[in-house]
Amino acid sequence: MEDTLKILVVDDDEVDRVAVRCALTKAGIQMELSEVADGNNAFSILTTTAYDCVFLGSRLLDQDGLTLIQQLRSSEIKVPLVVLTGQEDKQTAVQLLKAGATDYLSKSRISPENLAQVLRSAIRVYRAEIQVALAKEQLRESHEQLIRKNQELERQQQQLQMQNFKLSEASVLKSHFLATMSHELRTPMNAIIGFSQILLRPKFGQLTHQQADMVERILNNGKHLLMLVNEVLDFSKLEAGRLDLKGERFDISKVINLTVSEMRSLADAKNLSLLVQNDLQNSLVFNDPVRIKQILINLLSNAIKFTEFGEVWVEVKELPANRLAIIVRDTGIGIASRDFKRIFEAFRQVDQTLTRKYPGTGLGLAIIDSLVRMMGGKIFLESKLGVGSTFKIELPRQITLSAVEGDVPLQVDGERVFGSTKNQHHSSSQARQASVGYPRFKL
């Protein structure tokens, strides 16, 4: 052993102490050796000085030796303890081992080799025990930390659950409030629009040019406000899960042409060309014509709103697997890549300031997103800042509806399919996956 070991010999027989000292010296062990004659002195020394090993002589193997071990253990003084026994003391030595001694060696077998071997073995065992004790202590501390962390996590989870419950409750209340207020606002708005239209009819009296201009402004602003109210109402229904698709068989080309005709005046007001290209071989579909029209109106409104000059195209074409695509292109302002991540977020616009150039609720594309997902479709977007944007919506020719109200057979593309009049919603995760295409943005 290269390290200098501090060794304590406890024996009331000086001859035995000398024998141990000589054997260790002949074994070449580098050491600082201390000697005491009884257990009390040994305990006093061990309380103040750390030793690498203690040899306990045979004459102290009775009550004195046991008392020393007990005192050391109760005081949490850890040290390798080797018992030196006589022929008649082996049984006592075994008891001391059970009490906490590390090893024993018969005095008749004391030699430099045997004593050195027992010393090394006792130190290795002691160090191993220390490591095990340290590992156990670390495990205990880790276990206690885990318990505390689990308790903290449980507390945080309870807080999150409470917050989620409050947020969910607030969201429900908000949706109900929006639905109620939107419904209440629609009644007076319809009255304003209706009376404005009556005033513009010649049979109810001739208005001056200035009066007619004012009434037309009232009518146009009333229609615009009603459209905004309808967007809020539709979105609140979508959030609350109370908006259902009403499937029926219809000619989608007629719906598209009618919608484009209604939107043409907005394009003409900005001197924009509004073009339609229809490449459908069969225009019969099973879907909700009102919601298809709403999707197209929102797309065209955005395209016209954000296009200052140039053209807006609407293209309808066939797709494989009994699907079709509705594409709206414009030569508008386009969208910067930094704004793509905000696509279709409710109440979001690229320009959120109160002085923004392009007004709106920020719900149009959010509603499109929800409706397309309800129809089992996908939305794709290509856009370049300053060049324009292209929205492509892929839809099945027949939407899949639940069988709650019964399956209704219809003929599409020569195939007999079944549908009903109540929408079958996708799960939120499936719906989100279905809508993933190009990076999306919000106007």
Interval 114-147: pLDDT, tens: 888 989 888 888 888 888 888 998 999 999 999 9
Mean pLDDT of the residues in the chain = 80
What are 170-182's pLDDT values in tens digits?
877 777 777 677 6
Residue 87 contacts residue 108 (beta carbons within 8 Å): yes
Instruction: Tell me what pLDDT residue 347 has.
Output: 55
Q: What are phi and psi of 405, to 5 degrees?
A: -100, 15
100-111 burial, b for 16+ CB within 10 Å, e for fewer? ebbbbbbbeebe
Strand pairing report for 31-36 and 81-85: unpaired
What are 358-383's pLDDT values in tens digits?
544 567 788 888 899 999 999 998 99
Return the bridge partners of 314, or none. 276, 328
Q: Which of 187-196, 362-371, 388-397 has the lowest mean pLDDT?
A: 362-371
Confidence of residue 392 (pLDDT cuts 50, 70, 90): very high
How far, in Å, CA of 211 to CA of 224, rounded? 20
Instruction: Tell me what pLDDT residue 390 has.
Output: 93
Alpha carbon separation from 166 to 70, 80, 173 (Å, rounded): 61, 63, 10
Strand order in the sheet with 103-106: 31-36, 5-10, 53-56, 81-85, 103-106
Instruction: Tell me what pLDDT residue 332 has.
Output: 93
How far, in Å, CA of 127 to CA of 418, rounded? 79
E strand or H helix at 330: strand 323-330
Q: What are phi and psi of 422, to 5 degrees?
A: -135, 135
**pTM of the predicted model over 0.75:** no
E strand or H helix at 198: helix 112-199
What are 44-61's pLDDT values in tens digits?
898 889 899 999 886 666
What are 296-352's pLDDT values in tens digits?
998 998 899 999 999 999 999 999 999 999 999 999 998 887 777 676 676 555 544
Evaluate if residue 354 carries a pLDDT over 70: no
In angstroms and rounded to an integer, the radius of gyration of the C-alpha atoms of the chain is 45
